[in-house]
Amino acid sequence: MSPTHTSDVLVVGGGIIGLVTAWRAAQRGLATAVVDPEPGGGAARVAAGMLAAVTELHYGEQTLLGLNLASARRYPDFAAELTELTGHDLGYRRCGTLAVALDADDRAHLRELHALQQRSGLDSQWLSGRECRRLEPMLAPGVRGGLRVDGDHQIDPRRLAAALVTACERAGVVVHRAWAERLALAGDRATGVVTADGTELGAGQVVLAGGSLSGRLADVPPDVLPPVRPVKGQVVRLTMPARLGPFLNRTVRAVVRGSHVYLVPRESGELVIGATSEEMGWDTTVTAGGVYELLRDAHELVPGITELPLTETRAGLRPGSPDNAPLLGPTGLEGLLLATGHYRNGVLLTPVTGDVMAHALTTGELPEEARPFTPRRFGAAVLTEQPA
């Protein structure tokens, strides 16, 4: 079978990671195509869009921190370029973040995080409960203290995705609205994909950027199959009526009884509350328990949310990887690259992923800053059996 369409680069997956890869590749002069039944969809439809390199720092993730910070530094120019090119307002808000503690255990946890941030050379400031409430008057009187991080911002991921679709169109990226079913191979090299209707799309290089689905493209040899799994996150959206005045000025987050909860206030009046973290396979059901826990924990932080209209509930799937870091660049199979496994940081890592992948596609190598994220750091994928 000869391909009906051929490009230099074929990106499998039109979420924000696939789109930014395609856009940057096309800007470098590569004839680029994306295959996805619904470009601009994926986890970005659900994500809150926190750009939280500092407040989402975890023990053991210092290598990932370097990439997160590199991407955070790129955000102002990236957002300006995308807005200028497409005319889309991305909802990019350099508002900072306040991580707060409600009880002694939370405060101890936050103190540990502060110490880790300081050891990592990051900018964050410890505040008393009173100082937190001065910044955010809607916070509960019981807030015991917090960390002010002025460098952790937010963007609206749905707007980001829409802008990337437009940027791809303007850059000449061909979009195939189809489901990529299997990888096409010739000998020991990837040559494209075959879609659900049997069409073969040929390419010099194939980038697998299918988010949590990246491990499910048929005929990818087991030793290069990405070890990603879906990690469910439920999110609710409220509306902050303008007549109430500013409800929250910045992202507010906390760990309540061991669960992360965050409230992300947009200039549009949307208030996003997230997120559960559940190992439930491919399930995207919004559950009463998930919504209850989010609202209960958010209410402990900001009691006034009970007054706000509830406008949306949704669940999405983060692409989790074994070390919580992305898989970027060439694999052991010639012609096949990965851009997946971004887990909790897909929105934050979008700018750096575009640059890294464009570099890899044009030179065959990862730039220095991305070398730790080579897919070759994992052996053959060990995937937990997931329901079909």
Contact residues toward ligand GLY (CB under 6 A) are 50, 56, 233, 274-275, 318, 344
Q: State the minimum distance, in angstroms, from the CB of residue 45 to ligand GLY.
A: 14
214 versus 251: smaller Cβ distance to ligand GLY: 251
Q: Amino acid identity, residue 44?
A: A
Instruction: State how far Cα 138 lies from the chain centre.
Output: 28
Q: State the minimum distance, in angstroms, from the CB of residue 120 to ligand GLY.
A: 18
Q: State the minimum distance, in angstroms, from the CB of residue 302 to ligand GLY.
A: 18
Distance CA 255, CA 237 (A): 19
233 versus 335: smaller Cβ distance to ligand GLY: 233
Q: CA neighbours within 13 Å on the CB side: how many for 208?
A: 37
Distance CA 195, CA 295 (A): 41
Q: Which residues of 267-287 are buried (b: 16+ CB within 10 A; e: fewer)?
A: eeebbbbbbbebebbeeeeeb
Q: State the minimum distance, in angstroms, from the CB of residue 316 to ligand GLY.
A: 9
- Range list of H helices, 32-170: 62-86, 104-119, 129-135, 157-170
69 versus 184: smaller Cβ distance to ligand GLY: 69
Distance CA 34, CA 172 (A): 11
Residues 6+ apart with CB under 8 A from 68: 53, 56, 345, 348, 349
Q: State the minimum distance, in angstroms, from the CB of residue 318 to ligand GLY.
A: 6
229 versus 344: smaller Cβ distance to ligand GLY: 344
Q: Which residues pair with 46 in a beta bridge?
A: none
Q: State the minimum distance, in angstroms, from the CB of residue 241 to ligand GLY.
A: 26
49 versus 335: smaller Cβ distance to ligand GLY: 49
224 versus 271: smaller Cβ distance to ligand GLY: 271
122 versus 193: smaller Cβ distance to ligand GLY: 122
124 versus 205: smaller Cβ distance to ligand GLY: 124
In this structure, the chain runs to a length of 388
Q: State the minimum distance, in angstroms, from the CB of residue 56 to ligand GLY.
A: 6
Q: State the minimum distance, in angstroms, from the CB of residue 233 to ligand GLY.
A: 5
- Calculate the alpha carbon distances from 156 to 134, 189, 234, 258, 296 in Å: 26, 38, 17, 26, 24
Distance CA 318, CA 198 (A): 29
